[in-house]
Amino acid sequence: MVDTLIAKRHLMANKKQTLVAMLGVTFGIAMFILMISFMIGVNQFMEDTMLSSTPDIHIYNDIKTDYTVSIAGDYFKDKNLLVSVRHPKPKQVNLNIKNASGIINDLQHDPEITRVSPFLSTQVFYNYGPVQINGYINGVNIIDESKIFDLRSKMIVGQPEDLLNADKGIIMGRGLASKLNLSAGDMVTLTTPAGTSMSFRVVGIFAIGIGTIDDTRSYINLANVQQLMGKDRSYITDINIKLTNNKLAPSKAGELYKKYNYKSDDWQTANSSVMASNIVRDVLTYVVSITLLTVAGFGIYNIMNMTIQNKMKDIAILKAQGFSGHDIVRIFLSQSLFIGFFGALMGEVLGFLLSYALSRVPFPHNDFISLKYFPVIFNPAHYFFGLVFGVITPFIAGLMPSIKASRIDPVVILRG
Amino acid sequence: MSAALRVENLNKSFHEPEDFQVLFDISFTVNKGEFVPVIGKSGCGKSTLLYLLSTLDTDYQGKIFINDQLLTGESQNNLARFRNENIGFVFQFHFLLPEFTVLENVMLPALKLGKLSRKEIEEQAIDKLRQLQMDTFAHKLSSRLSGGQQQRVAIARALINNPTIIMADEPTGNLDSVNTGLVFDIFRELSHQKGITILTVTHDLDFAKNADRVIEMVDGRIKI
């Protein structure tokens, strides 16, 4: 109690110096808050964008070109010959998932899976008059698909359900529609690699915000694509899955692969480059924040050392009067903690204001990224950590000078 | 009369810059309520002796008793507690804390001791200041006072926990003759009327002349 009284007086006696020390922490914490809010905001945005184009888990039939087995082997069976086949060609394979309805039924009963959307994807040419553009169509059950990717919020023209109401409707990516100069109600002809073609009416246009998808992809009813490709009703090439918790995707994908023996990609693996840049941003945030806090820590260390140098006589007389080493440590350490705590509080406020300001800055307009403002996230945990760092740094910075102060020999000082 | 301070076979050496013995086999006793100046030439070891007795310096051979309690070998924390309760200090320089008012400076050792409430401590501190005719300055910052006034505040501070012994190192070294006389009168009054033992190192022979008993030191030994 006396110790805090003395500490308070020391701080108040040199307000300017106290304030400068505090501002060091304030800027450190403010920058930490700003950087982490922005960086996590960017990460979150990237993740959201990713998840709007990548399902939590994507099951598909990967093309396996197996050249080890040849019918030549069957033909020369038991003849004790070494058969060598040069330039083998892969045999005709169907890319569909066998027993798709069984797998889908199975997946729908998995408690960790909230939604299953089977689809049939194929490459097509979009013909509109003389213009031909290469792209993809996804034959989907549009209700399931739009629940997984929240298509409703991505529609520029029309609604996902319009696909069900129209006979041979198509929902197109924005980039694709503008290249073909199509708008809702126009007809477009699709040609498959196999040569069959069919006309569809544009019922909607979507924009996910990723150029490569908006420029090439369209949605059509699953049955129409099966018809276009001349396949039966059970022909499905891919299954998209949404999980209750998408952080579990990698382990769940492995599990599904083992179970069904079809390639299962989780969203993190499918977007590993984005995940890597997320990690880089995280590391960058912590490196810069720790650097700033270390600088602030050295500032406090210097100021505490200076204070103690100036207070040698006071320390000696306090010790003579019966203040113990612990009291001296408490007196100076509490000053350092006070600087840290209030500096950090001010830093949190400043950091919040800066983050808020940044979140109101319009993002430069860009056709490929659907972003109106800089992405900033306000997470109470960041503010909590800011406060913890803001107290730990001055504690460490103040500890050494305080212990030094407690070791001062009063006899040397008092005898002059 | 019981002994306030007893010293047996005190030896003290400095090791820096080279081994050098300052005190040789010092033994003496000071009774309660005695006013005892320690005199001697510069370098005779009288200040060194005082700092040993004050328990601030623990690097010595021999035994020191205060109030019949052996203090040799006690831990630093226990000694700090003991000083707080039993010993008052007055130095050549006043060593008041400049950020605090006169009253707060006097109160600090009692606040540290923590036996009384803040309000009681404040009353006692005012009382001590009144004894030294400094109560009118109670709420001034200590750095605003003159040297003589500051020394009187320092004495009030030494008295706040009602110590059995006051140790002073050249308390009048920085004062003019008027203030020196004042401090001397205060000390004599404290010892004779309040029964506080006073041990003070001094150069001032006038100061020593009127004391009850004088300990004179020559070359690290007590001259009898």
pLDDT of residue B1: 52
8 Å CB contact of A322 and B99: no
pLDDT of residue A367: 62
Distance CA A162, CA A28 (A): 53
pTM score, two decimals? 0.73
For A37-46, the pLDDT digits (tens) are 998 898 888 8
Chain A residues lying within 8 Å of B153, measured CB to CB: none
| Structure tokens belonging to residue B16 | 């820096």
As a whole number, the mean pLDDT across chain B is: 85
A117 phi and psi angles, rounded to 5 deg: -130, 100
Range from A363-372, A378-387, B39-48 carrying the lowest mean pLDDT: A363-372
C-alpha pair distances (Å), A167 with each of A127, A148, A156, A163, A203: 19, 24, 21, 8, 10
Q: Which helix (H) or strand (E) covers residue A327, if one does?
A: helix A325-359
Neighbours of A46 (CB within 10 A): 17
Judged against a pLDDT cut of 90, whether residue A2 lies above it is answered with no
Work out the pLDDT band at A368, boundaries 50, 70, 90.
Answer: low
Q: Which helix (H) or strand (E) covers residue A249, if one does?
A: helix A249-260
Q: Is the model more confident about A402 or about A412?
A: A402
> What ipTM does this complex have?
0.88
Beta bridge partners of B87: B165
Whole-number percent of chain A with pLDDT over 70: 96
Q: Is the model more confident about A350 or about A132?
A: A350
Work out the pLDDT band at A20, boundaries 50, 70, 90.
Answer: confident
pLDDT of residue B224: 65
Q: What is the average pLDDT across A312-320? A: 88
H-state helical runs in chain B:
46-53, 76-86, 102-113, 118-131, 147-159, 177-193, 205-209
Residue A300's Cβ-side half-sphere holds a number of Cα atoms within 13 Å equal to 37
Range from A331-335, B2-6, B107-111, B207-211 carrying the lowest mean pLDDT: B207-211
For B6-31, the pLDDT digits (tens) are 888 888 888 878 888 888 888 888 88
What's the one-letter identity of residue B158?
A
8 Å CB contact of A321 and B109: yes
**Closest chain A residue to B75 measured between Cα atoms?**
A324
Work out the pLDDT band at B94, boundaries 50, 70, 90.
Answer: low
Domain residue spans of chain A = 2-51+274-415, 57-71+92-268
Q: Whose CA is closest to B163, among B95, B83, B68, B107? A: B83
For A245-263, the pLDDT digits (tens) are 888 888 888 888 888 888 8
Whole-number percent of chain B with pLDDT over 90: 1
Polymer length in residues for chain A: 416
pLDDT of residue A157: 86
As a whole number, the mean pLDDT across chain A is: 86
| Long-range pairs for A268-273: beta carbons < 8 A, 24 or more residues apart | A270/A54, A270/A58, A271/A50, A271/A54
Judged against a pLDDT cut of 80, whether residue A280 lies above it is answered with yes
Q: What is the average pLDDT across B217-223? A: 84
Whole-number percent of chain A with pLDDT over 90: 14
Q: Is the CATH code 3.40.50.300 the one for domain B3-223?
A: yes
Q: Is the model more confident about A59 or about B211?
A: A59
Q: Which helix (H) or strand (E) covers residue A269, if one does?
A: helix A267-270
Chain B residues lying within 8 Å of A12, measured CB to CB: 99
pLDDT of residue A353: 95
CB A73 within 8 A of CB A84: no
Beta bridge partners of B64: B7
| Cis peptide leading into residue A193 (ω within 30°) | no
**Closest chain A residue to B118 measured between Cα atoms?**
A2
Chain A residues lying within 8 Å of B113, measured CB to CB: 322
Residue A273's Cβ-side half-sphere holds a number of Cα atoms within 13 Å equal to 0
**Tokens 């020593």 sit on residue:** B208
Cβ pairs bridging A and B (under 8 Å):
75
**∠ at Cα A371 (A368, A376), nearest 5°?**
140
pLDDT of residue A370: 67
pLDDT of residue A352: 95
Q: Which helix (H) or strand (E) covers residue A316, if one does?
A: helix A312-320
For B131-190, the pLDDT digits (tens) are 888 888 888 888 888 888 888 898 889 888 888 899 988 888 777 888 888 888 888 888
| Structure tokens belonging to residue A262 | 């079809």
Domain residue spans of chain B = 3-223
For A147-178, the pLDDT digits (tens) are 888 888 888 888 888 888 888 899 999 889 98
What's the one-letter identity of residue A103?
I
pLDDT of residue A369: 66
**Tokens 């623990």 sit on residue:** B58
Distance CA A405, CA A415 (A): 18
For A76-115, the pLDDT digits (tens) are 777 677 777 788 777 767 778 888 888 888 888 888 888 8
The residue among A9, A14, A317 with the most chain B CBs within 10 A of its CB, best to mutate, is A317
